[in-house]
Amino acid sequence: MSYNRMELMICVAARNLEDESIVVVGTGAPCAAAMLAQKTSAPNLTVFFEAGGMGPQLPSMPISVGDSRTFHKALAASSMPEVMETCQRGMVDYTFIGGAQIDMYGNVNSTIIGSDYHAPKVRLPGSGGANDLASLCWRTMVMTQHTRRRLVEKCDFITTPGYLTGPGAREAAGLPAGTGPYKVITDLCVAGFDEETCRMKVESVHPGVTRKDVEENTSFELLWDDNLGITEPPNEEELRILRNEVDPYRYIIGRA
């Protein structure tokens, strides 16, 4: 069955969300992944939204984290401070973030492009809640297009900390031990992070993608898993649910 790269990324992300876990998501592809996970492999997944929706039963794709649908049949209609406090208490398993740049240690930039903060080449939206969420949730996942401009040797600005400069750096900065980047899901591959060096390590390449394709679209040296695999493509049931129930109007999957 044919599929596009956005559909592949969403299906892969959904499979990485464990049943009976908690995830904080924004709108867009992360929300689609969480909704798909609830309808397939993780029916007891609890979804939080930054604006305060805790455990809603989403009737359809929300257009913002404060959309009234993020409170539909929820466990609680709380507030942003309460969601962030829950993360700070170590109760949230996963979060998703995105940005313009990510480096080998999983640091993310969504603030500026350029070396001068006060006069950048491009000024981006900034952190939102990304810094707080990736600092406090146990596992951070990133979904991004795979280009040399996005996977960079050094971020122009660190909006959201990954493993900073390597082993021990997060803890030295005062962030909770055991937290940090978990998966980077791109339109070319799936990467994790090496336990010893904290560097990005490719675990699988997508069907039809070669190691050379990935390397040519990355601005730093990647590590490669000894058991490098081929990403399992979306199956017919995943695509049916994603297209008909999660995103029937193609708000997200139509962006491929």
- Residue 248 has which token pair? 């029937």
Question: What stretch of H or E contains 80?
Answer: helix 80-88
Closest listed residue to residue 219, CA positions, set 99, 127, 101:
101
pLDDT at 24: 97
Q: For the sheet with 189-193, list strands across it.
A: 76-77, 53-54, 46-49, 22-25, 94-97, 139-144, 180-186, 189-193, 200-205, 223-230
Q: What is the CATH T-level fold of the domain 5-255, as seen in this structure?
A: Glutaconate Coenzyme A-transferase (3.40.1080)
Give the pTM. Answer: 0.95
d(CA 89, CA 68): 26
Q: What average pLDDT values come out for the chain (256 residues) when binned by 10 residues? A: 94 97 94 96 96 93 92 95 96 96 98 97 94 97 97 98 98 97 98 98 98 98 98 98 95 85
pLDDT at 70: 95
pLDDT at 205: 98
Q: Is the separation of the CB atoms in 205 and 188 below 8 Å?
A: yes
pLDDT at 27: 87
Annotated catalytic residue 153 = no
Dihedral angle of Cα 28, 24, 203, 172, to the nearest 10 degrees: 130
pLDDT at 256: 63
- Residue 218 has which token pair? 């990355």
Of 7, 50, 203, 238, the active-site residue reads 50
CA quadruple 71, 75, 79, 83: dihedral sign: negative
